[in-house]
Amino acid sequence: MSVVSPIVTITLNPAIDQTVFVDQLVPGSVHRVRQSRRQAGGKGVNVATMLALGGAEVVASGFLGDANATIFEQHFSKYGVCDAFIRVQGETRTGIKLVDAGINETTDLNMVGAAPTVEQCAALRSQLLDLAEPGRWFLIAGSLPDGIEPRFVAELIEALRATGAKIAVDSSGAALKAAVAAGVDLIKPNEHELAELLGVELKGFDAIVAATRRLCKERMPNLIVSMGSQGALFQTADAELLVRAPKLNVVSTVGAGDALLAGYLHGQQLGESLEDCARRATAYAWSRLESLVPMLPQGNELNERLNRISVRKLDSSVRPVLDC
Protein backbone atom coordinates (compact mmCIF):
# COMPACT_ATOMS: atom_id res chain seq x y z
CA MET A 1 0.00 0.00 0.00
CA SER A 2 1.48 3.35 -1.06
CA VAL A 3 1.91 6.13 1.49
CA VAL A 4 0.32 9.46 0.57
CA SER A 5 2.81 12.29 0.98
CA PRO A 6 1.53 15.22 3.11
CA ILE A 7 0.87 18.53 1.37
CA VAL A 8 2.91 21.47 2.67
CA THR A 9 1.33 24.93 2.74
CA ILE A 10 3.56 28.01 3.06
CA THR A 11 2.00 31.23 4.34
CA LEU A 12 4.64 33.93 4.50
CA ASN A 13 2.24 36.62 5.71
CA PRO A 14 -0.64 35.04 7.70
CA ALA A 15 -3.33 37.10 9.36
CA ILE A 16 -5.88 37.02 12.12
CA ASP A 17 -9.08 37.52 10.14
CA GLN A 18 -11.56 39.87 11.83
CA THR A 19 -14.75 39.54 9.79
CA VAL A 20 -17.38 42.20 10.50
CA PHE A 21 -20.90 42.07 9.06
CA VAL A 22 -23.05 45.16 8.53
CA ASP A 23 -26.42 45.47 6.81
CA GLN A 24 -25.17 48.12 4.39
CA LEU A 25 -21.69 49.63 4.18
CA VAL A 26 -21.85 53.42 3.69
CA PRO A 27 -18.45 55.20 3.74
CA GLY A 28 -18.34 58.06 6.21
CA SER A 29 -21.26 56.73 8.27
CA VAL A 30 -21.59 55.08 11.67
CA HIS A 31 -22.55 51.40 11.44
CA ARG A 32 -24.00 48.90 13.86
CA VAL A 33 -22.14 45.60 13.60
CA ARG A 34 -24.58 42.75 13.04
CA GLN A 35 -22.06 39.97 13.61
CA SER A 36 -18.30 39.64 14.09
CA ARG A 37 -15.89 36.71 13.95
CA ARG A 38 -12.17 36.44 14.69
CA GLN A 39 -10.14 33.46 13.48
CA ALA A 40 -6.73 32.35 12.25
CA GLY A 41 -6.35 33.13 8.57
CA GLY A 42 -4.14 33.74 5.61
CA LYS A 43 -4.46 31.90 2.31
CA GLY A 44 -2.17 29.01 3.16
CA VAL A 45 -3.74 28.56 6.60
CA ASN A 46 -7.20 28.46 5.03
CA VAL A 47 -6.09 25.86 2.48
CA ALA A 48 -4.45 23.73 5.17
CA THR A 49 -7.63 23.82 7.25
CA MET A 50 -9.85 22.63 4.40
CA LEU A 51 -7.34 19.93 3.48
CA ALA A 52 -7.40 18.64 7.05
CA LEU A 53 -11.21 18.67 7.10
CA GLY A 54 -11.12 16.55 3.95
CA GLY A 55 -8.89 14.00 5.67
CA ALA A 56 -5.64 14.98 3.95
CA GLU A 57 -2.28 14.97 5.70
CA VAL A 58 -1.03 18.56 5.75
CA VAL A 59 1.90 20.52 7.18
CA ALA A 60 1.48 24.30 7.58
CA SER A 61 4.60 26.46 7.53
CA GLY A 62 5.62 30.07 7.08
CA PHE A 63 6.20 32.92 9.54
CA LEU A 64 4.09 33.51 12.64
CA GLY A 65 4.37 36.34 15.18
CA ASP A 66 5.16 34.97 18.64
CA ALA A 67 3.19 37.66 20.48
CA ASN A 68 -0.23 36.45 19.30
CA ALA A 69 0.40 32.92 18.07
CA THR A 70 -2.10 31.32 20.48
CA ILE A 71 -5.10 31.74 18.18
CA PHE A 72 -3.20 29.89 15.43
CA GLU A 73 -1.96 27.17 17.76
CA GLN A 74 -5.51 26.52 18.98
CA HIS A 75 -6.76 26.51 15.39
CA PHE A 76 -4.17 23.98 14.21
CA SER A 77 -4.89 21.75 17.21
CA LYS A 78 -8.65 21.89 16.57
CA TYR A 79 -8.41 20.96 12.88
CA GLY A 80 -5.50 18.53 13.03
CA VAL A 81 -2.98 20.59 11.05
CA CYS A 82 0.72 20.01 11.72
CA ASP A 83 2.16 23.36 12.86
CA ALA A 84 5.63 23.94 11.41
CA PHE A 85 5.57 27.76 11.40
CA ILE A 86 8.78 29.63 12.16
CA ARG A 87 8.07 32.02 15.06
CA VAL A 88 9.21 35.62 14.58
CA GLN A 89 9.32 38.46 17.08
CA GLY A 90 6.18 40.61 17.17
CA GLU A 91 2.54 40.20 16.21
CA THR A 92 0.97 38.51 13.22
CA ARG A 93 -1.04 41.14 11.36
CA THR A 94 -4.80 41.51 11.57
CA GLY A 95 -6.91 41.60 8.42
CA ILE A 96 -10.29 43.28 8.78
CA LYS A 97 -12.98 42.10 6.37
CA LEU A 98 -16.03 44.36 6.18
CA VAL A 99 -18.93 42.39 4.75
CA ASP A 100 -21.85 44.33 3.29
CA ALA A 101 -24.63 41.80 3.84
CA GLY A 102 -27.01 43.68 1.58
CA ILE A 103 -24.99 43.06 -1.59
CA ASN A 104 -22.66 40.33 -0.22
CA GLU A 105 -19.47 42.27 -0.97
CA THR A 106 -16.32 42.26 1.16
CA THR A 107 -13.95 45.18 1.73
CA ASP A 108 -10.49 44.22 3.04
CA LEU A 109 -8.32 46.30 5.37
CA ASN A 110 -4.92 44.62 5.73
CA MET A 111 -2.59 45.71 8.52
CA VAL A 112 1.18 45.23 8.66
CA GLY A 113 2.60 42.46 10.83
CA ALA A 114 5.93 41.18 12.10
CA ALA A 115 8.80 40.96 9.62
CA PRO A 116 11.16 37.95 9.55
CA THR A 117 14.91 38.34 9.83
CA VAL A 118 17.47 37.05 7.34
CA GLU A 119 18.23 34.19 9.74
CA GLN A 120 14.56 33.25 9.99
CA CYS A 121 14.24 33.25 6.20
CA ALA A 122 17.19 30.88 6.04
CA ALA A 123 15.62 28.67 8.72
CA LEU A 124 12.38 28.44 6.72
CA ARG A 125 14.22 27.53 3.54
CA SER A 126 16.18 24.83 5.38
CA GLN A 127 13.02 23.41 6.96
CA LEU A 128 11.16 23.24 3.65
CA LEU A 129 14.06 21.58 1.85
CA ASP A 130 14.15 18.97 4.62
CA LEU A 131 10.46 18.26 3.90
CA ALA A 132 10.90 18.17 0.12
CA GLU A 133 10.71 14.96 -1.86
CA PRO A 134 9.75 14.01 -5.43
CA GLY A 135 6.05 14.43 -6.10
CA ARG A 136 5.17 16.22 -2.84
CA TRP A 137 2.97 19.29 -3.30
CA PHE A 138 4.12 22.60 -1.82
CA LEU A 139 1.74 25.57 -1.88
CA ILE A 140 3.03 29.13 -1.54
CA ALA A 141 0.01 31.32 -0.85
CA GLY A 142 -0.79 34.93 -0.03
CA SER A 143 1.09 38.19 0.12
CA LEU A 144 4.65 38.91 1.22
CA PRO A 145 5.54 40.42 4.61
CA ASP A 146 7.75 43.46 4.97
CA GLY A 147 11.36 42.62 4.19
CA ILE A 148 10.61 39.73 1.84
CA GLU A 149 11.19 40.38 -1.86
CA PRO A 150 9.69 38.38 -4.76
CA ARG A 151 13.21 37.08 -5.41
CA PHE A 152 12.98 35.06 -2.18
CA VAL A 153 9.90 33.28 -3.52
CA ALA A 154 11.58 32.56 -6.85
CA GLU A 155 14.72 31.17 -5.21
CA LEU A 156 12.65 29.01 -2.85
CA ILE A 157 10.68 27.59 -5.77
CA GLU A 158 13.83 26.82 -7.73
CA ALA A 159 15.33 25.00 -4.74
CA LEU A 160 12.18 22.96 -4.12
CA ARG A 161 11.75 22.06 -7.78
CA ALA A 162 15.30 20.76 -7.84
CA THR A 163 14.18 18.06 -5.38
CA GLY A 164 11.35 16.92 -7.68
CA ALA A 165 8.64 18.56 -5.56
CA LYS A 166 5.53 20.06 -7.17
CA ILE A 167 4.81 23.75 -6.66
CA ALA A 168 1.44 25.51 -6.50
CA VAL A 169 1.19 29.27 -6.05
CA ASP A 170 -1.78 31.45 -5.12
CA SER A 171 -0.52 35.02 -5.01
CA SER A 172 -0.66 38.16 -7.12
CA GLY A 173 1.40 41.03 -8.48
CA ALA A 174 5.19 40.83 -8.42
CA ALA A 175 5.22 37.69 -6.26
CA LEU A 176 3.12 35.75 -8.77
CA LYS A 177 5.21 36.97 -11.71
CA ALA A 178 8.42 35.90 -9.96
CA ALA A 179 6.92 32.51 -9.15
CA VAL A 180 5.81 31.84 -12.73
CA ALA A 181 9.22 32.88 -14.05
CA ALA A 182 10.88 30.42 -11.65
CA GLY A 183 8.67 27.57 -12.85
CA VAL A 184 5.53 26.24 -11.16
CA ASP A 185 3.11 23.36 -11.58
CA LEU A 186 -0.10 25.22 -10.74
CA ILE A 187 -1.40 28.75 -10.20
CA LYS A 188 -4.91 29.88 -9.21
CA PRO A 189 -5.49 33.51 -10.20
CA ASN A 190 -8.84 35.19 -10.59
CA GLU A 191 -9.63 37.00 -13.84
CA HIS A 192 -8.03 40.28 -12.71
CA GLU A 193 -4.88 38.61 -11.37
CA LEU A 194 -4.52 36.66 -14.62
CA ALA A 195 -4.76 39.86 -16.66
CA GLU A 196 -2.20 41.55 -14.40
CA LEU A 197 0.16 38.59 -14.73
CA LEU A 198 0.01 38.73 -18.52
CA GLY A 199 -0.03 42.52 -18.75
CA VAL A 200 -3.07 42.51 -21.03
CA GLU A 201 -6.76 43.25 -20.78
CA LEU A 202 -8.84 40.07 -20.99
CA LYS A 203 -12.20 40.92 -22.50
CA GLY A 204 -14.62 38.05 -22.18
CA PHE A 205 -14.44 34.32 -21.67
CA ASP A 206 -12.76 33.57 -25.03
CA ALA A 207 -9.81 35.79 -24.07
CA ILE A 208 -9.46 34.04 -20.71
CA VAL A 209 -9.47 30.61 -22.35
CA ALA A 210 -6.89 31.69 -24.94
CA ALA A 211 -4.65 33.05 -22.17
CA THR A 212 -4.86 29.90 -20.04
CA ARG A 213 -4.17 27.69 -23.06
CA ARG A 214 -1.04 29.66 -23.85
CA LEU A 215 0.18 29.56 -20.24
CA CYS A 216 -0.36 25.80 -19.95
CA LYS A 217 1.41 25.23 -23.24
CA GLU A 218 4.39 27.44 -22.44
CA ARG A 219 4.77 27.74 -18.66
CA MET A 220 2.90 25.23 -16.43
CA PRO A 221 0.92 21.97 -16.56
CA ASN A 222 -2.06 23.08 -14.42
CA LEU A 223 -4.01 26.31 -14.06
CA ILE A 224 -7.24 27.29 -12.32
CA VAL A 225 -9.03 30.59 -12.91
CA SER A 226 -11.68 31.41 -10.32
CA MET A 227 -14.52 33.47 -11.80
CA GLY A 228 -16.88 34.05 -8.89
CA SER A 229 -20.48 33.15 -9.58
CA GLN A 230 -19.53 31.97 -13.08
CA GLY A 231 -17.58 29.06 -11.60
CA ALA A 232 -13.98 28.14 -12.31
CA LEU A 233 -11.92 27.19 -15.35
CA PHE A 234 -9.63 24.19 -14.87
CA GLN A 235 -6.93 24.01 -17.53
CA THR A 236 -4.20 21.54 -18.40
CA ALA A 237 -2.22 21.07 -21.59
CA ASP A 238 -4.66 18.34 -22.66
CA ALA A 239 -8.06 19.43 -21.37
CA GLU A 240 -10.11 22.32 -20.05
CA LEU A 241 -13.22 22.26 -17.93
CA LEU A 242 -15.71 24.93 -16.90
CA VAL A 243 -17.11 23.84 -13.54
CA ARG A 244 -19.96 25.35 -11.53
CA ALA A 245 -21.86 24.53 -8.37
CA PRO A 246 -25.67 24.80 -8.34
CA LYS A 247 -27.27 28.00 -7.06
CA LEU A 248 -26.12 28.49 -3.48
CA ASN A 249 -27.24 30.26 -0.34
CA VAL A 250 -24.04 32.28 0.01
CA VAL A 251 -23.28 33.28 3.60
CA SER A 252 -19.78 34.64 3.01
CA THR A 253 -17.20 34.54 0.22
CA VAL A 254 -14.28 34.68 2.69
CA GLY A 255 -11.99 31.69 2.14
CA ALA A 256 -13.97 30.25 -0.78
CA GLY A 257 -11.10 30.54 -3.26
CA ASP A 258 -8.77 28.92 -0.74
CA ALA A 259 -11.23 26.05 -0.31
CA LEU A 260 -11.34 25.62 -4.09
CA LEU A 261 -7.57 25.25 -4.21
CA ALA A 262 -7.60 22.89 -1.22
CA GLY A 263 -10.03 20.57 -2.96
CA TYR A 264 -7.96 20.51 -6.13
CA LEU A 265 -4.71 19.77 -4.29
CA HIS A 266 -6.42 17.04 -2.27
CA GLY A 267 -7.61 15.45 -5.49
CA GLN A 268 -4.09 15.66 -6.90
CA GLN A 269 -2.73 14.07 -3.74
CA LEU A 270 -5.22 11.19 -4.18
CA GLY A 271 -4.31 10.74 -7.85
CA GLU A 272 -7.75 11.74 -9.17
CA SER A 273 -8.53 12.71 -12.76
CA LEU A 274 -8.83 16.37 -13.78
CA GLU A 275 -12.63 16.15 -13.72
CA ASP A 276 -12.70 14.55 -10.27
CA CYS A 277 -10.20 17.12 -8.95
CA ALA A 278 -12.36 19.91 -10.35
CA ARG A 279 -15.51 18.46 -8.79
CA ARG A 280 -13.79 18.06 -5.43
CA ALA A 281 -12.44 21.62 -5.61
CA THR A 282 -15.88 23.04 -6.36
CA ALA A 283 -17.52 20.99 -3.59
CA TYR A 284 -15.00 22.32 -1.05
CA ALA A 285 -15.64 25.91 -2.19
CA TRP A 286 -19.41 25.29 -2.07
CA SER A 287 -19.14 24.21 1.56
CA ARG A 288 -17.10 27.30 2.49
CA LEU A 289 -19.50 29.69 0.76
CA GLU A 290 -22.40 28.43 2.86
CA SER A 291 -20.66 28.72 6.24
CA LEU A 292 -18.97 31.38 8.35
CA VAL A 293 -16.46 28.81 9.63
CA PRO A 294 -14.48 26.11 7.83
CA MET A 295 -16.65 23.03 7.32
CA LEU A 296 -16.96 20.12 4.91
CA PRO A 297 -19.71 17.50 4.67
CA GLN A 298 -18.63 13.89 4.80
CA GLY A 299 -19.68 10.59 3.24
CA ASN A 300 -22.93 10.49 1.29
CA GLU A 301 -23.57 14.23 1.65
CA LEU A 302 -20.22 15.07 0.05
CA ASN A 303 -20.79 12.51 -2.72
CA GLU A 304 -24.21 14.00 -3.42
CA ARG A 305 -22.65 17.44 -3.84
CA LEU A 306 -19.95 16.08 -6.12
CA ASN A 307 -22.65 14.63 -8.39
CA ARG A 308 -24.64 17.90 -8.50
CA ILE A 309 -21.72 19.95 -9.84
CA SER A 310 -21.90 20.99 -13.49
CA VAL A 311 -18.85 20.13 -15.61
CA ARG A 312 -18.47 21.32 -19.23
CA LYS A 313 -15.63 20.04 -21.35
CA LEU A 314 -14.39 22.69 -23.76
CA ASP A 315 -12.66 22.32 -27.11
CA SER A 316 -11.49 24.71 -29.79
CA SER A 317 -14.91 24.81 -31.44
CA VAL A 318 -17.10 25.17 -28.34
CA ARG A 319 -17.65 28.36 -26.37
CA PRO A 320 -20.14 28.15 -23.51
CA VAL A 321 -22.36 31.16 -22.99
CA LEU A 322 -21.86 32.57 -19.50
CA ASP A 323 -24.55 34.30 -17.50
CA CYS A 324 -24.06 38.03 -17.20
Q: How many CB atoms lie within 10 A of CB 306?
A: 15
**Please, are residues 195 and 201 in contact by the beta-carbon 8 Å criterion?**
yes
Phi, psi torsion values for 232, nearest 5 degrees? -145, 145
Q: Under 8 Å CB-to-CB from 277, ≥6 apart: which residues?
A: 234, 263, 264, 267, 268
258 catalytic? Reply is: yes
SS3 track for the chain: CCCCCCEEEEECCCEEEEEEEECCCCCCCCCCCCEEEEEEECHHHHHHHHHHHCCCCEEEEEEEEHHHCHHHHHHHHHHCCEECCEEECCCCEEEEEEEECCCCEEEEEECCCCCCCHHHHHHHHHHHHHHCCCCCEEEEECCCCCCCCHHHHHHHHHHHHCCCCEEEEECCHHHHHHHHHHCCCEECCEHHHHHHHHCCCCCCHHHHHHHHHHHHHHCCCEEEEECHHHCEEEEECCCEEEEECCCCCCCCCCCHHHHHHHHHHHHHHCCCCHHHHHHHHHHHHHHHHCCCCCCCCCHHHHHHHHHHCEEEECCCCCCCCCCC
23, 108, 258, 315: the catalytic one is: 258
Task: Give catalytic residues, as residue numbers.
Answer: 258
